[in-house]
């Protein structure tokens, strides 16, 4: 058995969190958490991350309303990655309006093609990106 205190964060104090749909197993996104965002996630039941670009905590869906309700949290055998199964409120995870952030597939050896399902227009939700 591992304890939360046994998690292994990188030298920036972060741990990657792979987010999956709890019903389908679909990978929705990868985000970064620090101890504080994990604590907020555990307390609220809604996924929160550490934004590396903005250098602050953020709750997934705080602008769009497409929050993620935690169903389970797992760690790997090295305790340096989290796997979080969620109930996605609203069908989109990606800020570009897709169900999953992994909506681009490498075709051949050079280009990634859009193969995802776009659920909303990001300009309608966020304005000009």
**Could you give the angle at the alpha carbon of 34 between the alpha carbons of 119 and 6, nearest 5°?**
120
Give the chain's count of helices (H) and strands (E): 2, 8
**Could you give the angle at the alpha carbon of 57 between the alpha carbons of 78 and 121, nearest 5°?**
105
**Cα separation, 57 vs 81, whole angstroms:** 18
Render pLDDT for 13-61 as a digit per residue (tens, 0 to 9): 999 999 999 999 999 999 999 999 999 999 999 999 999 999 999 999 9
Percent of the residues in the chain that have a pLDDT greater than 90, as a whole number = 82
For 52, phi then psi, to 5°, come to -70, -30
Domains of the chain, CATH where assigned:
4-119 (3.10.20.810)
Structural contact between residues 17 and 42, judged by C-beta atoms closer than 8 angstroms: no
């Amino acid at each position: 058995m591992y304890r939360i205190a046994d998690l292994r964060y990188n030298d920036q104090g972060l741990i990657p969190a792979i987010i999956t749909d709890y019903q389908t197993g679909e990978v929705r996104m990868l985000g970064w958490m620090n101890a504080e965002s994990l604590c907020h996630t555990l307390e609220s039941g809604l996924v929160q991350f550490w934004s590396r670009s903005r250098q602050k905590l953020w709750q997934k869906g705080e602008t769009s309303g497409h929050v993620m309700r935690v169903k389970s949290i797992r760690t790997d055998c090295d305790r340096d990655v989290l796997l979080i199964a969620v109930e996605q409120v609203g069908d989109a995870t990606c800020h570009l309006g897709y169900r999953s952030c992994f909506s681009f597939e490498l075709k051949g050896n050079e280009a990634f093609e859009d193969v995802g399902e776009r659920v909303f227009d990001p300009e309608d939700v966020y304005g000009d990106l």
